[in-house]
Chains A and B, each alone.
Chain A
Amino acid sequence: MLVVEDLAVELGGRLLLKHIDLEIPPGETHILFGPNGSGKTSLLMTIMGYPQYKVVGGKITFKGVDITHAPIDERARLGIGMSFQRPPTINGLKTRQMVSLCGGGGELALEDMAERVNFADFLDRDVNAGLSGGEIKRSELLQLMAQKPDLLLFDEPESGVDLENIALVGQTIAELLQKDSDLALPGAKTIRQSRKARTKMGLIITHTGYILDYLEADKGYVLYHGVLSCGNNPREILHCVGQFGYEECVRCTLENN
């Protein structure tokens, strides 16, 4: 379980997020909507533990451990992983080596995994070197497949992905989050049991909502000007934003405050 309580975050002395409350129980995936610059990426980076995002109030707890000020690698080892929007290039480090590092040095069916996200041709390239937006998404997915985190943070996983690969990306995310319907989890006989046996948690930033075609999300939020609101059915939010724009969220937020 991820619990975020009354979180306030500063970046470079500017308050970016305030009064954020969020709870993701095991097995659930939540969706984060919001216009550009509303603080969505900042929220994910804060949960991941990027030190430039300074927590000035509130608390983050994961699996019962207070991680509010824990270093980033400690959070990773506790089971948090993130798919980044614009990860840096690492010269001289092959993607193949990077994926092994993500797997913690254990045995990996690396080639098979790469095949699955259509990335086998890139394994001997330096990490993120010269990749297009869509290729970066698949590289990030491959790394997460090896890392196997329990809480997965996705920053716009479908943006820049071409039509041919969008289903692949969507299905892989669903698998990682144990949301794909074919997945038989250990000890589960019925679909209901299978659902209950889910343990993975997800938080996904999306603008387009395409990802919702591939997995059932449990809850959606709108982040506007650093304030989280709505907490509603994600499809409904998407529909509403599509129809009335984020203006409606402003009115709603104003009313709530």
Chain B
Amino acid sequence: MHPREQLREKALAAVAKAAAIGEDIDLSQYQRTAPPQLPMAEADLCALPQADLDRLLMGGVDVNSQERGGTYIMKDTTVLHCSSKQEGVEVLPIRQALEHHPWIWDYYWRAVAVDADKYTAAVELDLHDGYVIRALPGSKTIFPIQACLYMDQDKLQQNVHNIIIAEEGSELHIISGCVTSEHMHSGVHAGVSEFYVKKGAKLSFTMIHNWAEEMKVRPRSAAIIEEDGLFLSNYICMKPVRSLQMYPTARLDGPGAVARFYSIMVGTPVTDIDAGSRVILNHPHCRAEIVSRAITNGGKIMARGHLVGNAPDIKAHLECRGLLLGGGAMLAVPQLDGFVDGVEMSHEAAVGKIAQEEILYLQSRGLTEDEATATIVRGFLSVDIPGLPPQLQAEIDRAVQATNEESM
């Protein structure tokens, strides 16, 4: 039996399987088809309606920028554009890869289980498309590759599968934006992402979410990191989203492998976010860090973190901070599991309000109470991420700044 058929069978058995955590979405309420888009050349992308370009930009995707090594844009269910400008980096739609490149079977559903839940099953059974980005051995990207999953049709369920491979000794940076158009109101996004970081490779993945108020989002991500590899994952969600649940997992499968997760989330009144990161440290000298900063203005945010130490001489830290500003709920759930002697794992979690002392201090320097509060919130959300290229740090700062100006 062809591997695809085996996968289909497993997926079929899981079509009704609710996820382990999070609200169970009734997927029958959403459509899985949309009119196909005509592929566009890179030069034509600039001619997209300005409103669309603005939305793409909010997701960190700049079609005019010279500082991008490649671009993938998918609108609703089909690919709008796919190209790489950088030698040593391949960017291709996953449907194309499945048809023409047998090597893809070494990676397809190898990190995430196809029958994990109804969302992974749907992505296999009704796959729309997705990107495959692969950095060839020893290649170093100068500029980040940008990818955008754009949703425009109301009531759509978008099924995406991405595979990212950093071959031995390579260095790859990706910014991936998930964005809905201005007039889109509700929909579902089911997105599977599988990351493979080979020996000595370095992969940074920065994901910016800009959803509509009634969107329900179920990312399903996993990473496998080999000896001395580094996986850096950044997640930013500052705009309203009805329901988001994810628990990306990194497996450190070689000595000296490193994973770092940084998340910045803001919950508005309609929002229900349940987002965590998990790192499984399987070899000596592996290291992991999970940092999350969350603010709620009335929504509910569950910030999870889970470190599993399976080998001696590993070191891992989990930091989870939440602010409640004007109602809502903030739940921090850190978990540390050590299964052998010689693990070193720690966590710090804090949920609370802005310290009055800090506000008064800034007021004594001439800021009004509101200015002081906004300044402290901006500081709370600004996280310095080591190893991130300046263009991507700038995108993160811009997203944080924009939200601050809107909401404060």
Contact = CB atoms under 8 A, between A and B. Distances in A.
Contacts of A71: 363, 369
A90 B360 CA distance: 12
Interface residues of A, number: 26
A72 B360 contact: yes
Interface stretch (B75-83, B166-174, B236-244, B377-385): B377-385
Given A92-B383, A101-B366, 17 more contacts: A48-B364, A49-B364, A72-B363, A73-B366, A73-B367, A73-B368, A73-B369, A76-B363, A77-B366, A82-B364, A88-B358, A91-B379, A92-B381, A92-B382, A102-B365, A102-B366, A147-B366
B376 A93 contact: yes
Contacts of B378: 92-93
Given A88-B358, A90-B358, A73 B363 contact: yes
A71 B367 CA distance: 11
A101 B371 CA distance: 10
B126 to A, nearest CB: 42
For the complex of A and B, 7 pairs with smallest distance between CB atoms: A92-B379, A93-B379, A73-B363, A76-B366, A92-B382, A72-B363, A88-B357
B105 interface: no
9 contacts: A76-B363, A76-B365, A77-B366, A84-B364, A88-B355, A90-B362, A93-B378, A147-B365, A147-B366
Interface of B: 355, 357-358, 360-369, 372, 375-376, 378-383
Contacts of A90: 358, 361-362, 375-376, 379
Contacts of B361: 84, 87-88, 90
Nearest to A79: B366
A126 B365 CA distance: 16
A73 B358 CA distance: 13
A91 B380 contact: yes
A241 interface: no
Contact of A101 (B360, B362, B381, B382): B362
Contacts of B360: 50-51, 72
Interface in A104-136: 104, 126
B381 to A, nearest CB: 7
A89 B113 CA distance: 44
Contacts of A49: 364
A229 interface: no
Contacts of B358: 88, 90
B271 to A, nearest CB: 22
A76 B355 contact: no
A143 interface: yes
A51 B364 CA distance: 12
A226 interface: no
Interface in A173-214: none
Contacts of A98: 365
Nearest to B400: A92
A234 interface: no
Contacts of B380: 91-92
- Residue picked from A72, A75, A101, A104, most chain B C-beta under 10 Å: A72
Interface in A62-78: 71-73, 75-77
Contact of B364 (A76, A93, A104, A126): A76
Contacts of A73: 363-364, 366-369, 372
Contacts of A220: none
Nearest to B368: A73
Nearest to A98: B365
A84 B363 CA distance: 13
B217 to A, nearest CB: 27
